[in-house]
């Protein structure tokens, strides 16, 4: 072999070694003793969550159809039966993320070790989702809900391509022991003006937006959450009061709740819980996690 050939081979070796040094080390396999984990990058690791912040499934009011549908989908998945990735989209504060965590807890109730493990990934860490999937794939005796809260993509954001490949595309596809649940305020995960601008400026409008909106098609289950009425808001408040054992009569509760929501300028499950938190504090009642 000539001297230039040796030099080229040596250079390629050094480049390969440098790439190996800067690539993130594989994440260590947890002992899976916790029922929930949060995925962190740099370095890759799964941080156990010993106490998940959530409310009981029975306390989620005004979203009965979405509750029953997601719970059934989650139970089927826990039993090893076919189940769909789920996108919970719609109005803010109507219990999308609360429903995911509550359904996870309901399916796990009384099971030791937990039947399902909840793994949360942040939107900004979506490019690392392939590495996370490889780690979860290796835990063949466990089943996982991979959860991303408030998922959306802005202009010139290419992170959605990483998610598309993992959810439905690629040679390996999604591991059989992993299901993906996401919440978003946007039905197609993209800003409406972004979709409309591309339609207006493209030679073929349908093809111009297909790449962007096709991500939401990877979710077999779409659950819509819509703004609630004042009556539904008051039903939520009464449900929280009864569950927590707060002593206050209906007339006073209604008057205080309406005044609270008027100061917020909105009615939602989140506003109802914020009111109950304030009321419980004033009444000396501790909230149960």
Q: What are the pLDDT tens digits along the chain (289 aa)?
A: 555 555 566 766 667 555 555 556 667 888 898 999 999 998 999 999 989 988 889 888 889 999 999 999 999 999 999 999 999 999 888 999 999 999 999 999 877 777 899 999 998 898 899 899 999 999 989 999 999 998 887 766 666 777 877 776 556 667 899 999 999 988 777 665 554 555 445 545 555 456 556 677 788 999 999 989 999 999 999 999 999 999 999 999 999 999 999 998 889 999 999 999 999 999 999 886 5
How far apart CA 229 and CA 236 sit, in angstroms, is: 11
Quote the radius of gyration of the chain (alpha carbons, Å): 23
Q: Quote the pLDDT of residue 190.
A: 64
Sign of the Cα torsion 41, 47, 51, 52 reads positive
Contact yes or no for 64/239 (Cβ under 8 A)? no
Q: Quote the pLDDT of residue 172.
A: 67
* Closest-CA residue to 113 (of 150, 142, 77, 152): 142
Q: Quote the pLDDT of residue 6.
A: 52
Return the structure tokens found at 247.
Answer: 């002593």
Coil, helix or strand at residue 198 = helix
Q: Quote the pLDDT of residue 205.
A: 53
Q: Quote the pLDDT of residue 18.
A: 56
Alpha carbon 178 to its chain's center: 13
How far apart CA 57 and CA 65 sit, in angstroms, is: 13
List, in order, residues 6 or more apart from 285 with CB less than 8 Å away.
244, 245, 246
Q: Quote the pLDDT of residue 58.
A: 86
Q: Quote the pLDDT of residue 111.
A: 74
Report CA-CA distances (Å) from 128 to 45, 69, 163, 179.
11, 30, 9, 16
Contact yes or no for 139/29 (Cβ under 8 A)? yes
Q: Is 58 exposed, middle or buried (0-12, 13-18, 19+ CB in 10 A)?
A: exposed
Q: Quote the pLDDT of residue 278.
A: 96
* Closest-CA residue to 142 (of 195, 94, 178): 178
pTM of the shown model: 0.81
How far apart CA 257 and CA 287 sit, in angstroms, is: 18
Return the structure tokens found at 117.
Answer: 């493990």
Q: Quote the percentage of the chain above a pLDDT of 70.
A: 78
């Amino acid at each position: 072999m000539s001297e230039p050939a040796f030099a080229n081979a040596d250079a390629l070796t050094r480049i390969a070694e440098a790439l190996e040094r800067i690539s993130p080390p594989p994440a260590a396999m947890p002992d899976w003793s916790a029922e929930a984990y949060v995925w962190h990058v740099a370095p890759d690791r799964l941080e156990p969550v010993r106490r998940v912040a959530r409310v009981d499934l029975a306390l989620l009011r005004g979203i009965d159809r979405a509750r029953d549908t997601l719970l059934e989908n989650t139970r089927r998945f826990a039993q090893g039966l076919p189940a769909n990735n789920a996108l919970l989209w719609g109005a803010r504060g109507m219990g999308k993320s609360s429903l995911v965590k509550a359904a996870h807890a309901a399916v796990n109730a009384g099971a030791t070790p937990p039947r399902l493990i909840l793994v949360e990934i942040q939107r900004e860490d979506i490019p690392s989702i392939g590495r996370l999937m490889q780690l979860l794939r290796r835990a063949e005796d466990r089943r996982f809900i991979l959860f991303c809260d408030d998922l959306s993509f802005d202009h010139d954001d290419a992170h959605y391509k990483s998610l598309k490949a993992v959810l439905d595309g690629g040679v390996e596809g999604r591991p059989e022991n992993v299901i993906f649940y996401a919440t978003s305020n946007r039905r197609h995960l993209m800003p409406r003006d972004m979709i409309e601008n591309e339609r207006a400026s493209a030679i073929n409008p349908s093809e111009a937006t297909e790449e962007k909106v096709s991500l939401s098609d990877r979710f077999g289950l779409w659950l819509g959450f819509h703004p609630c009425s004042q009556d539904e808001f008051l039903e939520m408040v009464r449900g929280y009061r009864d569950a927590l054992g707060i002593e206050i009569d209906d007339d006073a509760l209604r008057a205080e709740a309406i005044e609270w929501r008027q100061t917020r300028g909105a009615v939602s499950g989140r506003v109802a819980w914020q009111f109950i938190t304030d009321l419980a504090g004033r009444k000396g009642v501790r909230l149960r996690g």
